Structures are given as C-alpha cells and as structure tokens.
Amino acid sequence: MNILWQLFTSFSRIGAFTFGGGYAMLPLLQQEVVEKRGWSTEDEILDYFAIGQCTPGIIFVNTATFVGYKQKGVLGAIFATLGAITPSIIIVMIISSVLNGFADLPVVQHAFGAIRVVVGVLIYNAVSGMWKKSVVDKLCVCVVFVAFFIATCTTISPAWIVFGATVFGLFLGKMGYKGGAKQ
C-alpha cells in the first residue's frame, strides 16, 4: 500500500504546484519520477511523454497512468491517475466559485500575465530537454522541420502527423536505419 500512496501523493504534489498544462509539468515529472523516485529511466519517461501526447487525454494524466501501471499494474495506474487529477478538480472548483468576482481586477490580470510568462519558460525548458534526447542526427532534424511545417502551415490534424512520423519511423527501421532509435 505504501507505493500506492507514494504514487498518489507524488502526482498530487506535481498537479497541485504546476501551472500551464502538461508541458509545464514535464520538468517536475522528470525530477520526481526519474531522479527522485527512480520509477522510470529518462528514455522511458520520454516514451511516456510521446505516447501520452498521442493518446486521448491530458499528457500529465496519461504519463501518470503509465508510470503507475509500470509500478503496480492497474491499481498503481488508478492511484497515480487519481493523484494527478485530484488537485486540478479541487483547484478548478475553488477558482470557478470566486473568479467571476475578481477576474477583471488589474492585479489578477497582471498575475495571470506573469504566470503565462513563467509557463512559457517551463515549456521551453521541457521542449529543449526533449530535443536534446530525441533529435540525434540530421534525419531527425529534417523530420522535426517537416512536422513543424505541416503542423503550422496546413490544417492537417496533429494525430495524422504523429501517425505519419510513426509509419516513417517503422519504414526506416525496416530499412536498417538506427540513427533515431535508442541504441
């Protein structure tokens, strides 16, 4: 039961003290799950992030579910997921009950502006860390830029871009390419 409680409290703590969504939580997830608890390796957490983004739902909740499942199966997944969503549910209920009366105050607007800036920095930090681990050669750089171009210059769904990259990666694997794969 101790590991289940640790899963719940660890993901609750991350969920309660991070703002800005899944990408802003990635550095804290890595610190807690990889460095502090040793529940996953850096490569595994990158895989969880990638799969968590490709599956329906919130990347943080999906990642929590994967980590919990790895530790204690279905019960671990449930505890980690509940830990991840409980703070958000409580915070949203509290904020929604009082925000309407304060949302237009300049001090609240300035606070949200500052939070947006910090969230941008956290997202940049997460993306640069993932870039260093994932973009390992010229072909990977080309794939990144093609995916970025398609995502920003067309109306193609990101799900199709991920699917296309997956098919391309499988094709490269069949052809014997090992540059972007974990060695």
Provide the residue type at 107 as one letter.
Answer: V
Q: Based on the fold, state whether residues 110 and 180 are members of the same structural domain.
A: no
Q: 159 and 87: one domain?
A: no
d(CA 1, CA 140): 43
Residues 72 and 161 in one domain: no
3-51: pLDDT as tens digits: 999 999 999 998 887 766 667 777 888 889 999 999 998 888 888 888 8
User: Angle at which helices 42-54 and 158-174 pack, to 10 degrees?
Assistant: 130
Instruction: Enter the pTM of the model.
Output: 0.62
Cα(145)–Cα(44) distance, rounded to whole angstroms?
Answer: 24
Query: What DSSP assignment string belongs to 46-95?
Result: HHHHHHHHHSSS-HHHHHHHHHHHHHHHHHHHHHHHHHHHHHHHHHHHHH
Whether 130 and 146 map to the same domain: the answer is no
pLDDT score at 131: 85
Lowest average pLDDT, out of 53-57, 58-62, 142-146, goes to: 53-57
What pLDDT does 123 receive?
81
For residues 152 and 74, state if they share a domain: no
Greater confidence, 132 or 83?
Answer: 83
Closest of 49, 75, 79, 77 to residue 63, by C-alpha: 49
pLDDT tens track for 123-175: 888 788 888 888 888 998 999 999 999 999 999 988 899 889 989 988 988 88
Q: Cα–Cα distance between 183 and 43 in angstroms, integer? A: 11
Same domain membership, residue 147 and residue 58: no
**124 and 172 inside one domain:** no
* Predicted confidence (pLDDT) at residue 70 exceeds the cutoff of 90: yes
Rg (CA), the chain: 19
Residues 36 and 46 in one domain: yes
Note the pLDDT of residue 39.
Answer: 94
- Domain match, 127 and 145 both: no
The domain in which residue 118 lies consists of: 2-134
pLDDT exceeds 60 at position 80: yes
